[in-house]
Structure 1
Amino acid sequence: MNQVPNSPVPPAAPSPDPLECTVLSDPTAPAAPLQPAQHSADTGEAVAARAAMVDRLEECGVLGPGPVREALLALPRQILMPQAYVRRSAPDETPPWWDLLDFSRPADRKELLERLHSGDSVSIQHDGEPILGRPPGPRRRGAITAMSSTMSLTADLLQQLDLRPGQRMLDVGTGAGVTAAAACFVCGDKGVVTLDIDPHVTAAARERLSALGYRPATVTGDGTAEWTDAAPYDRIFVSFAVRHVPQALVEQLTPAGRALMTLGTSSPSWPGLAVIERRRDGSVEAQLRAVEFGHRAGAGFDRLFLSAAFRAEIATADGWTQRSMIAPPPDTARGMWLALDRLYPGLVRDFGAEDLTIGAPECGSWMRVRPVGRRRWDVTTSGPRDIWAEIQDVTGRWRAAGEPDVFRLQFDADGSQRATSPNGALTWQLSPGETGDAR
């Protein structure tokens, strides 16, 4: 449902997945996608906007030919999201305020269609309000409490799910129902269960999916626990970040089933994608992939962020400066950054800064690295933590491990979970704390 805003650069197209699975639960299932019902609100402008959105996703390399592309072309987003919030206040302005746009109002229609098809995340709920029957207009204070993820993230993960007709899918974190609608389009709606902890989100999704002619099981509940009514599932998709893989979901996978979810920490900066496969013999194999984008954490996380005042301090304040001939790790060293977040938690990167800028908001430590010539960098640090030393420690350990971007996920008999490099040289325990809510 939510995306970590790490960078404006879209993720690269996924590489071929060595974990292949092509099971059909029902061999009598329809071979053709279940087309959405025609709707009077699906205007020519909306059809053209969807086509342009799909073209952009293809040009960026995050979408290729196949059923996901066909679903994104066919599914009218303005039926799933006939209302959406647009923030009118500046990012650091307080109190914040938004406008709720409504497709039924001609004055809102153009801006709403642009928002729905921009590729950005779409805000659909403010302060946990009921979604159906609400009046459009301004909202002040409070916070956005439900979103539809950016299309680059959604398209990428839907393709990695490898949906097939007749499969049973559990969609944990309904949001606007985009993932559930795509699953209904590809798999047929009889085997799809979409689940959200918020009854207002569930009620809105049920009504809007029905308007498209889809009637999946739309359920209110905690998806990190279990939903056994339609289990086992061929595909499980979690649209919010969890600290570790919920064992209940692993147990609900069919042989040759696959689950995808973001594994995160309180920091939004360096997510990992967990890919869990249950083999045909019943054994489980899992990977943790360092990725550029991931879903936001659910409500069980103590979220860390860099305030405007802290960002300004890092950019301008004096600290202890050392001249270094060691280059800072590049953004593409995703496995190193993933390991840093796990081995030295509490760090947040300011991706909007011109230079490498990282802060630890809980203790006030910070670091900035600025190039000052050929193979020379000024490293300025402040506070009780030496973040540059932490980075150098993890970089050395990551290189000794072979510079991996993919780690094995191991599920131990005592219930603990570990991420380990392929050669075993770099490992860390996944937090057994709260997994977040079931949005």
Structure 2
Amino acid sequence: MTLAAPPAASGASLWRHSAGDTSGAVAARAAMVARLEEDGALGPGPVREALRALPRQILMPQAYVRRSAPDETPPRWDLLDWARPGDRDELLERLHSGDSVAIQHDGEPILSRRAVPRRGGAMTAMSSTMGMTAGLLQLLGLRPGQRVLDVGTGAGVTAAVACFVCGDEGVVTLDIDPHVTAAARERLSVLGYRPATVTGDGTTGWAAGGPYERIFVSFAVRHVPQGLVEQLAPGGRALMTLGTSSPSWPGLAVIERQGDGSVEAQLRAVEFGHRARAGFDRLFLSAAFRAEITTAGGWTQRSRLAPPADTARGMWLALDHLYPGLVRDFGAEDLTIGAPECRSWMRVRAVGHRRWDVTTSGPRDIWAEIQDVAGRWRAAGAPDIFRIHFDADGSQRATSPNDALTWQLSPGETGDAR
């Protein structure tokens, strides 16, 4: 691991606005915060004050915007640059839209790069959607003077908020990519902050700065990294997205160390989660497979069993773990789920009062899998929150509150994000 220059004391009172924080940027930021409040994603408190103050164009003076259609290959990207006056309006709109913001292409150096179009490749670092980030930062419960470990630096937004609320002396931001940490170090310093900026594997944490009262992981893991649990201080809390190879049904792991040193953890079924790190093998439904599901024939049965509601998040979370390999097409008009590894799929369409046509194809009976888990989930009390157990042999499992529904958490790959 490599460590940045020694951190300097800072706090909310030392926040410095750059000369680049124009009236347009201030207005865009205020509008973004107002939308978050209106949507219920943000309430009064220090996170709100930090987001109102944070000049996002200082942390992200360049950002990518996709110019190609969603399924067009290779994808085409333009890099907007604050230094070019003609880009500023579009860049401000992008930074304050609430959507995720891509800041790095194929692991490139971020500082001093030319703002030229890119084709192909992948975006390897980004700032997450603001609604999710704001909600998680509020749940994290940041307070002045806390020691905070920000795992997965990205654009440095979480680190900046932690410095604003807690003071930068106890803040560590950690990323596997030296280009990401170098950019965050330089841009946070423009805001007057000197958190410890560390390059290394986020799943092992950084023991030298701990123990931490708060740990925030901004990429998905398959199970809770033990190294991060060990660095959690008594009274501390850690948050991270926990998922499988499917992006469709994430869980939020909330880990807390009690005053006596014991650890309690929950897995909460949520609508949105952080994306997986670069190199995390992920499933997806290709355009060709989606077209096949929409147009191809299959075996159709009439069912009086209703498909589980989208709001039955605990059921979908359990399905993802008990019958892995499924991906939902959320853009389809009907409930549509595919298993890309074996080309199985299912489509459910309402055809009358309490009647549905269920069309399936392939070796897996996805409808039967769904109904199996739905029945077990209801028998377990229809929970949306499960307990995470850390067993003596190092394995982890999730269970319903009444222990009627349980599954193992796969160790899989849990490396750092870009």
Q: What TM-score does the superposition give when structure 2 sets the normalisation length?
A: 0.97
Residues 241 and 436 in structure 1, CA contact (< 8 A), matched pair in contact too:
no
**Equivalent in the alignment of 1:277:** 256
For residues 417 and 30 of structure 2, what CA distance do their matches in structure 1 show?
Answer: 32
**Equivalent in the alignment of 1:17:** none
Aligned residue among 427, 433, 439 for 2:412? 433
- CA drift of 1:35 comes to 4.1
For residues 233 and 348 of structure 1, what CA distance do their matches in structure 2 show?
Answer: 36
Once the two structures are superposed, residues 314-339 of structure 1 have per-residue CA deviations (whole angstroms, 9 ceiling, x without a partner) of 01110000001111000000000000
- CA drift of 1:301 comes to 2.3
Residues 358 and 367 in structure 2, CA contact (< 8 A), matched pair in contact too:
yes
**Equivalent in the alignment of 1:114:** 93
Q: CA 1:205–1:216 in 2, change beyond 3 Å: closer, same or farther?
A: same
Q: CA 1:141–1:438 in 2, change beyond 3 Å: closer, same or farther?
A: closer
Number of positions where the alignment pairs a residue of Structure 1 with one of Structure 2: 410
- CA drift of 1:352 comes to 0.4
Once the two structures are superposed, residues 49-108 of structure 1 have per-residue CA deviations (whole angstroms, 9 ceiling, x without a partner) of 000000000000010000000000001000000000000000100111100000110110
- CA drift of 1:143 comes to 1.1
For residues 66 and 205 of structure 2, what CA distance do their matches in structure 1 show?
Answer: 35
Q: Does 1:263 align with 2:249?
A: no
- CA drift of 1:137 comes to 2.3
Residues 33 and 165 in structure 1, CA contact (< 8 A), matched pair in contact too:
no
Q: Does 1:253 align with 2:247?
A: no
- Identity score, percent: 84
Once the two structures are superposed, residues 6-64 of structure 1 have per-residue CA deviations (whole angstroms, 9 ceiling, x without a partner) of xxxxxxxxxxxxxxxxxxxxxxx99x734421211100000000000000000000100
For residues 262 and 42 of structure 2, what CA distance do their matches in structure 1 show?
Answer: 31
Aligned residue among 287, 294, 305 for 1:315? 294
**Equivalent in the alignment of 2:104:** 125
1:296 alignment partner, SS class: coil
Q: Which amino acid aligns with 1:390?
A: E
Residues 67 and 186 in structure 1, CA contact (< 8 A), matched pair in contact too:
yes
For residues 289 and 160 of structure 2, what CA distance do their matches in structure 1 show?
Answer: 41
- CA drift of 1:437 comes to 2.2
1:353 alignment partner, SS class: coil
For residues 53 and 212 of structure 2, what CA distance do their matches in structure 1 show?
Answer: 25
For residues 66 and 237 of structure 2, what CA distance do their matches in structure 1 show?
Answer: 36
Residues 163 and 186 in structure 1, CA contact (< 8 A), matched pair in contact too:
yes
For residues 363 and 191 of structure 1, what CA distance do their matches in structure 2 show?
Answer: 48
Once the two structures are superposed, residues 126-172 of structure 1 have per-residue CA deviations (whole angstroms, 9 ceiling, x without a partner) of 01100000011211111111110000010000000000000000000
Once the two structures are superposed, residues 97-120 of structure 1 have per-residue CA deviations (whole angstroms, 9 ceiling, x without a partner) of 100000110110000000000000
**Equivalent in the alignment of 2:338:** 359
- CA drift of 1:432 comes to 1.6
Where do 1:148-187 residues align within 5 Å? 148-187=127-166
Aligned residue among 256, 262, 269 for 1:290? 269
Aligned residue among 64, 68, 71 for 2:43? 64
For residues 171 and 219 of structure 2, what CA distance do their matches in structure 1 show?
Answer: 18
Residues 275 and 288 in structure 1, CA contact (< 8 A), matched pair in contact too:
yes
2:324 alignment partner, SS class: coil
Report the aligned-residue RMSD: 1.0
- CA drift of 1:225 comes to 1.2
Once the two structures are superposed, residues 169-206 of structure 1 have per-residue CA deviations (whole angstroms, 9 ceiling, x without a partner) of 00000000000000000000000000000000000000
Residues 201 and 415 in structure 2, CA contact (< 8 A), matched pair in contact too:
no
Residues 195 and 438 in structure 1, CA contact (< 8 A), matched pair in contact too:
no
Q: Does 1:236 align with 2:252?
A: no
Residues 300 and 437 in structure 1, CA contact (< 8 A), matched pair in contact too:
no
Q: Which amino acid aligns with 1:225?
A: T
**Equivalent in the alignment of 1:87:** 66
Deviates more, 1:132-141 or 1:186-195: 132-141
Once the two structures are superposed, residues 185-238 of structure 1 have per-residue CA deviations (whole angstroms, 9 ceiling, x without a partner) of 000000000000000000000000000000000110001013111110000000
- CA drift of 1:396 comes to 0.3
Q: Does 1:385 align with 2:345?
A: no
- CA drift of 1:374 comes to 1.1
Any stretches of 5+ residues in structure 1 without a counterpart?
1-28
Residues 241 and 263 in structure 1, CA contact (< 8 A), matched pair in contact too:
yes
Residues 102 and 109 in structure 1, CA contact (< 8 A), matched pair in contact too:
yes
